[in-house]
Structure 1
Amino acid sequence: MKFLRVGAPGLERPAVLGPDGAVHDLSSITADLDGAFLAGDGIARARAALAAGELAPIAEPGRIGAALARPGKVVCIGLNYLDHAEETGAEVPAEPIVFMKDPGTVIGPDDEVLIPRDSHKTDWEVELAVVIGARARYLESDAEAASCVAGYTISNDVSEREFQLERGGQWDKGKSCETFNPLGPWFVTSDEVADPQALDLRLWVDGVLRQDGSTAKMIFGVHHLVRYLSRFMVLEPGDVINTGTPAGVALGLPGTPYLRAGSVVEVEITGPGGSLGRQRQRIGQA
């Protein structure tokens, strides 16, 4: 199933995309698409209600909000594609590089991204985002990890490289500026993604293709990451894992301009099971 949230910021309604392409209101099933919805039987009830024709269509959905409301935490993996590590001159990690991103950065897939004040190196990163649907604690196998994954969505892990790499301290301050995590348009349940390691990721800036990669080239795969993280923190329903980005970021392309006000970024992830959707952000100035 493809879930989404529609409406003005702060007033989004939960919805589901029907097989006919129509958007159906889920307000009778849940108040929002959040950890409580994922932890219970929300997906099963939504599936049954859609099949029974019990969900009213939304004639004019309007704005699409973030695919998930109020993630408990956003855990990010750095340098998780060999080509990205190579382009940035970084050593290939022996274990996943883990950092956190402020959940407050999450915005809708087509919302405006703001370049922070005093920023000179705001960069883009298309990423597969994993949505956790069951509590994950000290998992022992990839099969256990898979059972904790509710589904997938798209993240643009926007990053300010000077803040991240040249100002000392941890990466978080270059990753957690406001609007730095467009998420969506859909949260696609795991049963519709036959193989999370067989997805194609692409990103364009002002119509120029900058990133064109595949999750097959991850250093650490999705299920390995969920299992690994569960050894260091408890993952809860509604948490999100941004799994890393392939080559093609401005940081790794000498002479390539970073984002500027007025730039347009487009992002998509596709695969054998279908599309996770497409994002389009115009860049503004904080």
Structure 2
Amino acid sequence: MKLVRYGKPGKEKPGLIDSDGKLRDLSGKIDDFTADQLSDRALARLAKLKTDRLPLVTGRPRLGVPVAHVGKYIAIGINYIEHAAEAKMRIPREPIVFMKAVTCLCGANDNIVLPKNSKKSDWEIELGVIIGKKAQYIGEEEALDYVAGYCVANDLSEREFQIERGTQWDKGKGCDTFGPIGPWLVTRDEIPDPQNLDVWLDVNGERMQQGNTKTMIFTVAKIVSYLSHFMTLLPGDVIATGTPPGVGLARNPQVFLKPGDVVAAGVEKLGEQRQKVVAWPGKK
């Protein structure tokens, strides 16, 4: 299933995309895609619905974050072999973990708002993972059973904030609108192998990133298991699993986002995002 939340920010309704690509309203069946709607049992109930009997949503409403009330947004750094090379970093022995503020989350096609005093805002297309049930100290062999589904994620990053202003990455990763995910959550039954998905990102129609999740250093199963040994993963938590090569920071010359740019990004079987880059309100 492809599950969505549609409508104006803060007023989203639950929906799904049917087999014909049409948006159907689920608000008569569930209140929202909250943590309790991400379990295997809850998703199985939704899968049994006759979608052609659900109300059809007309027009092209905004698509919001596909999960409500995300508790944690966890990200993995340097997780593609080629990206490690372009960043001139050694292949890590263990996953590099950092957090993105949940206030950075936004819909897949919402504007990217450059933060105040931004100089080096950059892009990072990633496979996103959405947790479906509580995970503590789980093994790698069972880790995918704890996944509700997958989504497209763009781990936007202000590189000056991230690299040149101290040793912690988080402040360059959590700016408002720096976490577009979606357009939808694709349930894990539709993605039997998350380690063979093409990922790509364009800026102004030019291909900047191209890769495949098979070149990830740490697999999705490894990441979910690993994280569960350091923190409790809860339903609705989001994990961004790392980016392939082609980020603006590593290009020669370097390229960073500016107002008016258009970013388009996608992951095979998970849909596409499209964002316009705008300046922070009031910036001269």
Q: C-alpha distance in 2, partners of 1:139/1:125?
A: 28
Q: Secondary structure at the match of 1:41?
A: helix
Change (3 A) 1:23 1:285: same
Instruction: Give, in whole Å, the separation in 2 of the partners of 1:42 and 1:26.
Output: 13
- Identify the residue that residue 125 of structure 2 maps to in structure 1: 126
For structure 2, which runs of at least 5 residues remain unmatched after alignment? none
Please tell me the residue identity of whatever aligns with 1:224: K
For residues 266 and 254 of structure 2, the distance between their equivalents in structure 1, rounded to whole angstroms, comes to 21
CA distance in structure 1 between the partners assigned to 2:194 and 2:203 by the alignment: 25
C-alpha deviation, 1:161, in angstroms: 0.5
Within 5 Å, which residues of 2 pair with 1:63-212? Answer: 63-140=62-139, 142-212=140-210
For residues 129-172 of structure 1, the C-alpha deviation after alignment (integer angstroms, 9 at most, x for no partner) is: 001001110012x2310110111000010000010011003110
Q: Structure 1 length normalisation: TM-score?
A: 0.95
State the shift of 1:186 in Å.
Answer: 1.0
Aligned length: 280
Instruction: Decide whether the 8 Å contact of 2:149 with 2:187 is kept in 1.
Output: yes
Q: Which amino acid in the other structure matches residue 138 of structure 2?
A: L
Partner of 1:224: 222
Residue 39 of structure 2 contacts residue 148 of structure 2 at CA under 8 Å; is this kept in 1? no
TM-score of the pair, normalised by structure 2: 0.96
Partner amino acid for 2:197? L
Task: Note closer, same or farther for the CA distance 1:29–1:42 as it changes in structure 2 (3 Å cut).
Answer: farther
CA distance in 1, matches of 2:66, 2:111: 16
Structure 1 residue runs of 4+, over 6 Å off?
none
Q: Is 2:34 the partner of 1:34?
A: yes
Deviation string 1:13-56 (CA, Å, 9 cap, x unpaired) is: 110111122211111222111212114733122111235x4422
Q: Which runs of 5+ in 1 are unaligned?
A: none
Name 2:249's counterpart in structure 1.
Answer: 251
Whole-angstrom distance in 2 between the partners of 1:40 and 1:91: 38
Worse-matched range after superposition: 19-28 or 168-177 = 19-28
1:75–1:98 Cα contact (<8 Å) kept: yes
- Per the TM alignment, residue 231 of structure 1 is displaced from its structure 2 partner at its CA by 0.5
Cα distance in structure 2, aligned partners of 1:200 and 1:50: 31
Identity %: 46
Which residue does the alignment assign to 2:24? 24
What root-mean-square deviation, in Å, do the aligned CA atoms of Structure 1 and Structure 2 show? 1.2
Alignment-mate amino acid for residue 262 of structure 1: G
Worse-superposed segment, 55-64 or 12-21: 55-64
1:216 aligned partner, one-letter code: K
Q: In structure 2, the residue corresponding to 1:150 is in which secondary structure?
A: strand
Aligned residue identity for 2:82: D
